[in-house]
Amino acid sequence: MRAVFFDLGDTVWHFPRRPPPADVAREITRRVQGLLGEWGLASGIDAGGLHRRLGEGWDAAERAADADGGVGPHYPSLASEAARTAGLDLTAEQVERLWDAQNAGGRFLGRVVLPDAVATLEALCERGFRLGVITNRGHGGPPFLAELDDYGLGGFFETVVSSDQVGYRKPHPRIFQEALDRLGVRASEAAHVRDRLEADVAGARRAGLSAVWMRGVNASEREPDRADQQPHFVIDRLTDLLTLPILSSTAG
């Protein structure tokens, strides 16, 4: 075993103090309204309605992508379509900024790094394991890397593979293969850690990685009911990784 990949939500960090949905909607509407004002387009445009249309399109597109095995979606196109529906003809740069405004951000959402995360990541690095992130996100790229740095986590991960950047969502094998290729390791030499059975456990197994199911944070996740959802290992806390046979000694 040479590499360990993580998703982040309910694995490395979580949201114990997430604000009510109405507060999140107000914040994003404020940001959208600010953009429209900056562009001289605020007159006659319902910023809250634009935010809602974009959010609805986002949800529908991800559901469709997951039903289709995890291909797509292209998020700026969703922002462009929502803008057109509102009567706006935006430039490509404006579309990107409108999409970015939909991301409330981890600080606003009350994101907290799990108390054992840093110590566990440090221990894995000391044992010689190479670490990476494989995550389904609508907002990846440089802003997300900056968020990781803001939480003191960026230095642990050699690569961060986000679905919006590669065009495939877990459980599609292509997103796992992208991560493997970036580190130059084989699937048999890597493990993936997360709390979701279909996207992460089943996805990792299909791609040939060792699947570690962390079930402690997200207690609502059901027990696996299909053979391909059976994890190779089960942990309740991140520090339990350090006792797993495949990770208990130095990297191979």
Q: 13: Cβ–Cβ under 8 A, 6 or more apart, which residues?
A: 106, 111, 112, 113, 114, 117, 151
Is the domain of 96 the same as that of 142? Answer: no
Is the domain of 125 the same as that of 7? Answer: yes
Is the domain of 191 the same as that of 222? Answer: yes
pLDDT at 28 over 90: yes
Residue 149 pLDDT: 96
Active site residue 7: yes
Last residue of a domain, one of 66, 101, 136: 101
How many domains in the chain? Answer: 2
pLDDT at 221 over 70: no
Q: State the catalytic residue, choosing from 7, 10, 164, 195.
A: 7
Strands, E assignment, the chain: 3-6, 13-14, 112-113, 130-135, 159-162, 190-194, 210-214, 233-235
Query: 89-118: per-residue pLDDT in tens?
Result: 999 999 999 999 999 999 999 999 999 999
pLDDT at 222 over 80: no
Share of the chain above pLDDT 90, in %: 82
Last residue of a domain, one of 76, 101, 126: 101
Judge whether 9 lies within some domain: yes
What's the domain range around 68?
A: 21-101
Which residue has better confidence, 207 or 71? 207
pLDDT at 219 over 90: no
HEC string of 64-86 equals: HHHHCCCECCCHHHHHHHHHHHC
Residue 95 pLDDT: 96
Is the domain of 80 the same as that of 143? Answer: no
